[in-house]
Structure 1
């Protein structure tokens, strides 16, 4: 029988062996090189390589020299830029357990107060609870189908606003009312006002501020966090005043719809709202806070991205009349001329599905996603990826990569329609809503909403280039923004396809009053 001393010595020896192996493994791993990237300057590293606008273009340009995985260091902060969908899936999907955290964002997260909203919330218990709440509410296509009547009603109201005011200058406002109205209805059971709805305006402002404050490299305090402690009178601290404005507007957007919902709460057993589904279960202060922030994230985050996609639809149709004709022909054949399309028609409208996918690919709404943070040392393709790295997926390049999409700048829904033995091109839904445990929880609401609008626009409207003084105005597709982008304002002509088609919209809205 082994004596006590022998057992202790054996355990010590085993412990030393494990430690030595870990150290050896660490040194062997670290012996691997970082991914290639531009040479930085002493102390500041690649700070001067970080652009303030259209960062996806810079990352794509760097890809031409350094490849699909690039390493940067900014003031000592390691960054990994991923330009390949396959690499993004290998790391962010398959290794999500160590790639699901968010980097510290002093400006947006701590100063503006967005840190407890799902998009930039650190990975942990609060994140998991928030995700679970959202998944229960809208995490599958089946759960989203419960709200088909709301989506169809809000879409018809949107088309009616266009019929009453078809000016292209008003189009984006119509889109914002529709997307805001849909989210407010399913989250809080709130019906938006037709003129200057305060909740919609609040969400628009907060999303604009969120996009500005989360853009990579937009604020020096994100690269030098101690700057947040400088006194307000110190030169260059204007970011602190802006952050206080953002925090005030964010609190207003979060609190006021929730207060309204609790004053007017009704119980829809067949179609619960987010508030009625979860509010009674939120007992502790922590539960109440997480629930309130989850509802606000659903409302705020679900509107602006869809606005950009739908606004790009009318530009795409104006620039591509052949696409519009194909969409109209399919809807006319399947739905007919005596009713409006519904979600029940979805399986019979493959070209409309392809149109949705092409919109999401062509106009990449979140071109560099929201950065992930690596929580452990990792290796990939013979490269060393250090713990703490900020990992950015260049989604815009992935969706415009010539190796994946033929003629990627062309708007061509047929690329997703297999024909003559040729397979469809890669589905953009695998990239445009993010990766891994950080994939957008509202993606099914978003794609369902975009599908309905595409189908109903094809059924009721004709979109074409505007004509002014007998001259055709050529619209230009150009995106603008930071974390969330939008097509720049453009001109187009929007007309009803027929008096009968317009009448279907008027009748539908009247029935739902």
Structure 2
């Protein structure tokens, strides 16, 4: 979570995380937890009866409202504090280049900042909020899958060793030379989408789908989890099998690529998709190349096979599970240290 939050913080706000107890990371983590506990979109009664927003919070049955108010306050702090920091640093002339500083400066030049202030704050907050939890979910699913499927881990490790070697870390230039790793990552997106029901959409005009009339203004939830379990497209969908995405033509892969639905659709498709894919590739490839990931052992020395258990809510990630992760060799430390100095 700290890795993902720090990556998004630097891209969005130019904020470099240098401490384990970084204030913005802590706020993001708390907001993520509270949002997940508040329930997924369409799971709360006020989603279907909007007039209940006026229901007094002191009356019985108002738990949905008190929970939402608590979460809203935390989310507001999470969005406002880093945005205010960017504006203060811009005023002092010390702001680092980032998405937010670029948008604010452009808005000032155009003389539209008063109208766009809150819009820019919201755009930055959306990038920040959406990028941390979903990427974290994919990466924890990766670790869980590697613990449960050591044969897949070994295949990916052997491929990276053959292509990259042991004297450097994988980078984005290696992506096209690692077909098995790419297939493994694609299977991660299919096996457990981090947003099982995606982002809610609204019908902007009357539509008919499979004989059902959808009135204008209807909320539509896309069952992304069900799409990932379509047996006509993904035989034995409950099996983690990267090989299903190997030896395909570009057209064949495009027709079944789960990233086409895990990142959403239309105007609400994830705007940070390409950054997310780069981050996931870099971290998975570097964990595989430098670490041994496997089952942990109980007090009697017996290996523990973790179960596939995932949280419910707007976003979904693996429940806590035991695993072992250790450096492959003493050389790993030197390779990582040298890479840090070179970047």
How far apart are residue 300 of structure 1 and its match?
Answer: 1.3
Which position in structure 2 is the counterpart of 1:479? 310
Query: How do 1:58-77 residues align onto structure 2 when only pairs under 5 Å count?
Result: none
Given the two structures, how large is their TM-score scaled by the length of structure 2? 0.91
Matched position secondary structure for 2:197? coil
Q: Does 1:301 align with 2:130?
A: yes
Q: Does 1:190 align with 2:15?
A: yes
The RMSD of aligned alpha carbons is: 2.1
Name which of 208, 211, 218 aligns with 1:389. 218
Which position in structure 2 is the counterpart of 1:327? 156
CA distance in 2: counterparts of 1:284 and 1:258, whole angstroms: 14
Which position in structure 2 is the counterpart of 1:412? 241
CA distance in 2: counterparts of 1:194 and 1:376, whole angstroms: 50
Query: How do 1:472-511 residues align onto structure 2 when only pairs under 5 Å count?
Result: 472-511=303-342
Matched position secondary structure for 1:471? coil
Q: Any idea what the Cα deviations from partners look like across 1:232-270, whole Å, max 9, x if unmatched?
A: 3322223333222222212211111122223345576xx
Matched position secondary structure for 2:271? coil
Q: Does 1:276 align with 2:83?
A: no
Q: Is the 1:188–1:274 Cα contact (8 Å) retained in structure 2?
A: yes
CA distance in 2: counterparts of 1:426 and 1:275, whole angstroms: 35
Query: Could you list the runs of 5+ residues in structure 1 that have no partner in the other structure?
Result: 1-175
Q: Does 1:442 align with 2:267?
A: no
Matched position secondary structure for 1:358? helix
How far apart are residue 382 of structure 1 and its match?
Answer: 4.3
Query: How do 1:371-382 residues align onto structure 2 when only pairs under 5 Å count?
Result: 371-382=200-211
Q: Is the 2:89–2:95 Cα contact (8 Å) retained in structure 1?
A: no
Matched position secondary structure for 1:487? coil
Matched position secondary structure for 1:181? helix
Which position in structure 1 is the counterpart of 2:47? 222
Query: How do 1:165-184 residues align onto structure 2 when only pairs under 5 Å count?
Result: 176-184=1-9
Name which of 108, 117, 134 aligns with 1:288. 117
Q: Is the 1:374–1:387 Cα contact (8 Å) retained in structure 2?
A: yes
CA distance in 2: counterparts of 1:221 and 1:384, whole angstroms: 23
Q: Does 1:370 align with 2:195?
A: no
Q: Does 1:454 align with 2:284?
A: yes
How far apart are residue 510 of structure 1 and its match?
Answer: 4.7
CA distance in 2: counterparts of 1:341 and 1:437, whole angstroms: 33
Matched position secondary structure for 1:405? coil
CA distance in 1: counterparts of 2:113 and 2:280, whole angstroms: 37
Q: Any idea what the Cα deviations from partners look like across 1:447-493, whole Å, max 9, x if unmatched?
A: 11101111101110111111122111111111112110011111011
Q: Any idea what the Cα deviations from partners look like across 1:327-373, whole Å, max 9, x if unmatched?
A: 11111111111111111211212222112111111121101112211
CA distance in 2: counterparts of 1:211 and 1:184, whole angstroms: 20
Query: How do 1:97-246 residues align onto structure 2 when only pairs under 5 Å count?
Result: 176-213=1-38, 215-246=40-71
CA distance in 1: counterparts of 2:33 and 2:64, whole angstroms: 16
CA distance in 1: counterparts of 2:48 and 2:218, whole angstroms: 13
Matched position secondary structure for 2:33? helix
CA distance in 2: counterparts of 1:377 and 1:311, whole angstroms: 40
Q: Any idea what the Cα deviations from partners look like across 1:193-216, whole Å, max 9, x if unmatched?
A: 332211011112222333344514
Name which of 470, 485, 498 aligns with 2:301. 470
Q: Does 1:354 align with 2:179?
A: no
Matched position secondary structure for 2:205? coil
Given the two structures, how large is their TM-score scaled by the length of structure 1? 0.62
How many residues are paired up? 333
Bigger RCO (CA 8 Å, 6+ sep):
1
Q: Is the 1:212–1:218 Cα contact (8 Å) retained in structure 2?
A: no
Instruction: Identify if the C-alpha distance between structure 1 residues 278 and 304 changes in structure 2 by more than 3 Å, giving closer, same or farther.
Output: same
Q: Which moved further from structure 2: 396-405 or 244-253?
A: 244-253
Q: Any idea what the Cα deviations from partners look like across 1:381-410, whole Å, max 9, x if unmatched?
A: 444332232211111011112111021111
Name which of 345, 348, 353 aligns with 2:174. 345
Matched position secondary structure for 2:221? strand
